[in-house]
Structure 1
Amino acid sequence: MEEKCGKGEIMIRKKRDLSPDAKLRFPDYLGYFFGAGTNIAGYIVSAFLLIYYSNVLYLGLTQVGVVMAISKCFDGVSDILMGRIIDKTKSKYGKARPWYLRMILPLSMCMLFLFWMPPGLSETWKYVYVFITYNLASTVCFTANAIAHSSMIGFMTMDTRSRGIVGVMSMISNTVFTILVTNFFMKICKFFGGGETYTQRGFTLTILVYLVFYAAAAVLAFLLTRERIHNVSDSESRETEDTLTKQEKEKKETVHREAEVPFWTAIRSLFTNKYWILCLVMCLGFYFLMSYASSATVYFAQYVMEDISLQGTLASVLYIVLLVGIILALPVMTKIGKRNTMAIGLAISAVGWFLPQITLEKTIVIAASAIVGIGFGFIAAPAGSFLQDTLTYGTWKSGVTAIGMGNAAFSFVNKLSSALGTIILGFVLDAGKFDASLAVQPTSAIHAIKLLYIWMPTVICLVCLGLSVLYDLDKKLPFIEEEIKAGRIGEKRKTN
C-alpha cells in the first residue's frame, strides 16, 4: 500500500513495506543516522561540562561529583518512567518517533541554563543551581530524547539484518557527531572567547551553535524514519481484523503485546533475561570509555602533554579511525559473530590505552589513540544491535515484549556511564591535588591524570573481555526468530 504522509512530512514516492519484519530502506537508515544527532547535547555534557565547571566557574570537582552522583538516583527512576511513557504513547506517528520533535524546545532551554550561571550566587546556591539544571537537562530531557531514539531500532522492524545495519549506522552516526563535538567545541569556544579558551561568552555562543545542529537533526530524524511495530491504530485494527488468518492474528497479538504488559511483569522479564543483564554490564564499560575518554583527553593533553591543541587531534584520530574500524569489523562480524568481533575490539583497545604508559612521545601517543579507535570500531559494530537481540531473546523466553522498558534501562546505563566518568574524574583529580588556577600542576595531579587516561581504561577493557566469554546468544538467534514468527513464545514455547 502507498504510505500516508502527515502534514509537514516528506512525501516519499516509492512504496515502503510497513510490515513488522520489513527490510528497511535508505530513508529509514538516513533518518536514524540523523537521530543520533539528537544526542549531541549529551556528548557535550560528557566531554566538557566538568572542564566548564572547573576552569570557567572554578567549582570544586568533588562537590560537583557528589551532585551528579545524587542526580543519578533520580535518573534511574526517570528512565523507567520514560520507557513506560513510550510504551503507552499513542500517536499516528508511532510511540518513539514523535519525541524527536517534542524535545527540541525543552532540551535547548535546559542546555543553555546548564552552561550558564547567574552572577552573585553564594557558594551553596551555586551547587544548588548545578543540581537543578543538571537534573533538568539529564534526568528529564536527555532521558526522553535518548530512550526515544534507542527504542526506534526495536520499533522500526523485527528483521535482524536490518537491525544490524541500523545498529552499525547508529555507531557511525554517533562517531560523526562525536567528532563534531570533540574536535571543534574548544576551538569554537576560543573563537567566540576572543582568543581565550575558558570564557562564559565562548561557552554560551558555542552551545547555541550546536543547538542549531541538534534541532535540524531532530527534524530530519522525524521526517525520514517510520515505525512498524505497534504502529497500527485502533480503527485500522478493527477494519483489518476480519481479514486476518488465525496465524496472522497470533503474530499481531505478539507484536502488540507490550502495551498490555503490567509494569512489574515487564521488569521481571528483563531481570530474568541473563543476556540482557550481561549486555548492560558490558555496555556500561564500553560507553563509560566512550564518554569518559573525551573528558580525560582534555586534562591529559593540557597538563601531561602540555599541549591543549593535542586534545582535538587525539579525539579526531580516535573517532575517525573508529569509522575505519567499523568498516573493517563488518565482514569479520559476518564470519565470526558479534560476540567474537567485540572481544577482538576489547583486546586491541586495551593495547592502545596502555601504550602511553611506555612512552609519552607525541607520535606514539597519537598512534595509540588510533589503535584505540580501531578497537572501538570492532566493539561498536556489534554493540548497536546487541541490546535488541537480547530483548528478542526475552520475548521468546518469557512471552513479554518490553522494548521501551529494555531501552530505558539501557539509556540509564548509558547516562550512568557518563556520570560515573565525571564523578570518578572529579574525585581522582581532587585526590591528586589538581588546581585549575595553576598553569603547572603538582606531580600528584599528573599521576592522577595518567591513572585516569591510561590505567583505568586498560583495566575496563580487560574486564569486559572476560565477560564477553559468557555471551553465546549469536548462535541461538536464528532459531529464536523463527519461533517468534510462528507465535511460539513464553508458555507456548514451553509446550510446543
Structure 2
Amino acid sequence: MKEKINLREKLSYSIGDVGCNFVYVPITSFLMIYYTNSVGLGVAAVGTLMLIARLLDGVTDLSIGALIDKTNTRWGKTRPWILWSAPFMGIGLVLLFNVPMGLSNGGKLIYAYITYIFLVSIVYTASNLSYCTLLSRISSNIQERSVLSSIRFVFVISFTIILSMITNPLVEKYGWSKLSVIYGIISCVFLFITFAFTKERNQDEKGEKFNLKVGIGSLMKNKYFLLIAIMFIIIYTDMGLFSGATLYYTTYVLNNANLMGMLTLALYAPMIVGFALLPKFISKFGKWKVMMFGFLVKLIGVIIMAINPASYELVMGGSIIKGFGMAPLIVGIFAIVADAVDYGEWKTGIRADGLINSCVSFGMKLGGGLGTAILGWILDWGKYNGTAAVQTGAAIKAINVSFIYSGIVFTIVGLIVMYFINMDKFASKMVSDLNVKRTSDL
C-alpha cells in the first residue's frame, strides 16, 4: 500500500534544493569572476582548481554514498545527512567568498583550494547527495516522482532567476563578505525544513545491513547507471560553461553586467512553464520521448543564438527556446535516476540508493567543474585579462565560444547518449514485479 504524499511534504522536499541553490548559484555563476576580478587569480589556475576539486568528488561521492546506504536511524538513511550537513553549507560558503586579501597570490590559491574542496567536495556532496537520494525513498511511484521533480525544479528555477537578478546589485551594496553570510543562513534553514517535514517510505527489507562489496557488484550489473552518469556530465558541463560565461558575456559583449538577470529570466522562465506541463506529457508519452524532444528544441535555441552572438535580441529569443528544451532534461534526468535504482533492485535484488546516486552526483559535479575549467582554459586561450577595462577581440571570441557555440556540441552529444537510456519500455513490468516482491517479503 502506497502512502499518499501531501502538498506540505512535496513543498518541504522541494525547498531543500532551493537551499542547495543558495550555495550552488554563487559557486557556478559568480565564483569564477570573483576569483579573477576581485581576488586577482588567473583564469587558467582557477579553472584547473575547480576541475581538480571535482575529480576528488569521485572519492567523496562514492564514500558518502556507501555511508548513506549503511546508515540506519529512526529518521531513515538520507534525512540525517541533510540535517548534519546543513550548518556546514553556510559556513563553507562564507569561507569560500572571504579570501584574505593580505595573502600572496600563491597563498590565495592555496586558500581557494582548501575552502573549495571543503565546501564542494565534502559538505555539498554530503548534503546534495543525500537530498537527491531522498527522492527514491520518499515514494516508489514513478508518476509521483515526476511530480516531485517538477515541483522541485519550479522552486529551483524561480530562485535561480531571483538570485541572478539580485546578487550583482547586492554584492555592489554589501560585498561578498556580508552576502555570503545571508545566503549561508538561508541555505541552512531551507535544508532544515526538508529534514523536518519529509518522510522516507522505501525502507530496507527485513532490516538487512548494506554490504558495500555486494552493492558495488550490483552496480556493475546496472547498465543504466553509467549512461545516466555520463548524461549528467554532459548536461552539467554545458550548464557550467553557460552559467560561468554569462556574466562575462553581459559585461564584455553586451557591455552591461546587469543584463545577466534578463538573460537568466529568458532561459529559466520558459523552464518553469515547461515544469508545470511536464507531468501530463510524461504521463502520456513517457520520460524518454519527452527528453529526446527536449534535446531537439534546445538545439534549435542554441543555433538561433549562434547566428549573431552580439545581437541581444537573437540571444534572448534563442534563450527562450532553449529554456523550453531544457525543462524536460532537468526534470527527467533526476527522475530516471530513481528509476535506475529500481532497475538495479529488479535485476539483482540489491537496492543501492546511495551508491547509484553517488555516481550520478559525481557526474553532475564533475560536469559543473569541467564546464568551469573549460571556461577558464578557453578564456586563457583568448588572453582574457580580469584587470583590463576593455578586452581584446580574441578574448571576446573566447567568451562567445564559451557562452554559445559550445552548447551546440554538448546538445548533440547529449541527444546521442539519451537514445540509449530508454527505461520506459519496461517500466510498468519493473514496478509491478518489485511491488509483488516487496509485498511477499512483508
Q: TM-score range with shorter-chain normalisation?
A: over 0.9
The reply to whether residue 305 of structure 1 matches residue 293 of structure 2 is no
Q: How far does the alpha carbon of each residue in 1:94-152 deviate from its partner, in whole angstroms, 9 at most, with x for none?
A: 11112232223222111111111123222222211111111111111101110110011
Q: Deviation at 1:452? A: 0.8
The reply to whether residue 396 of structure 1 matches residue 346 of structure 2 is yes
The CA RMSD measured in Å over matched residues stands at: 1.9
- Which among 181, 188, 199 is matched to residue 215 of structure 1? 188
Would you say the 8 A contact 1:166–1:384 is kept in 2? no
- Which among 298, 322, 332 is matched to residue 349 of structure 1? 298
Would you say the 8 A contact 1:394–1:401 is kept in 2? yes
Instruction: Tell me the number of residue pairs that the alignment of Structure 1 and Structure 2 aligns.
Output: 438
Indicate the residue corresponding to 1:243 in structure 2: none
Paired with 1:23 and 1:287, the residues of 2 have a C-alpha distance of 32
**Tell me, what secondary structure is at the counterpart of 1:99?**
helix
Paired with 1:368 and 1:375, the residues of 2 have a C-alpha distance of 11
The reply to whether residue 82 of structure 1 matches residue 31 of structure 2 is no
- TM-score of the pair, normalised by structure 2: 0.94
User: By percentage of residues, which structure has more helix?
Assistant: 2
- Which among 259, 264, 276 is matched to residue 315 of structure 1? 264
Residue correspondence of structure 1 range 54-453 to structure 2 within 5 A: 54-192=36-174, 202-230=175-203, 252-253=205-206, 256-257=207-208, 259-260=209-210, 262-359=211-308, 360-453=310-403
Q: How far does the alpha carbon of each residue in 1:413-436 deviate from its partner, in whole angstroms, 9 at most, with x for none?
A: 111111111111111101100011
Q: Deviation at 1:488? A: 8.9
Unaligned runs of 5+ residues in structure 2 are: none
Letter in 2 for 1:134: Y
Identity %: 29
Which structure is higher in RCO with an 8 Å CA cutoff and minimum separation 6?
2
Q: Structure 1 residues 120, 441: CA separation in 2 closer, same or farther (over 3 Å shift)?
A: same
Residue correspondence of structure 1 range 8-27 to structure 2 within 5 A: 21-27=2-8
Would you say the 8 A contact 1:43–1:291 is kept in 2? no
Return the index of the structure with the highest Cα Rg: 1
Q: Deviation at 1:321? A: 1.5
Q: Deviation at 1:295? A: 1.3
Paired with 2:317 and 2:92, the residues of 1 have a C-alpha distance of 38
Would you say the 8 A contact 1:23–1:162 is kept in 2? no
Would you say the 8 A contact 1:72–1:416 is kept in 2? yes
Q: Which moved more, 1:391-400 or 1:284-293?
A: 284-293
- TM-score of the pair, normalised by structure 1: 0.84
Paired with 2:76 and 2:85, the residues of 1 have a C-alpha distance of 16
Paired with 1:174 and 1:286, the residues of 2 have a C-alpha distance of 17
Paired with 2:199 and 2:240, the residues of 1 have a C-alpha distance of 29
* Off by >4 Å, runs of 4+ in structure 1: none
Letter in 2 for 1:220: I
**Tell me, what secondary structure is at the counterpart of 1:56?**
helix
Would you say the 8 A contact 1:170–1:384 is kept in 2? no
Q: Which moved more, 1:96-105 or 1:389-398?
A: 96-105
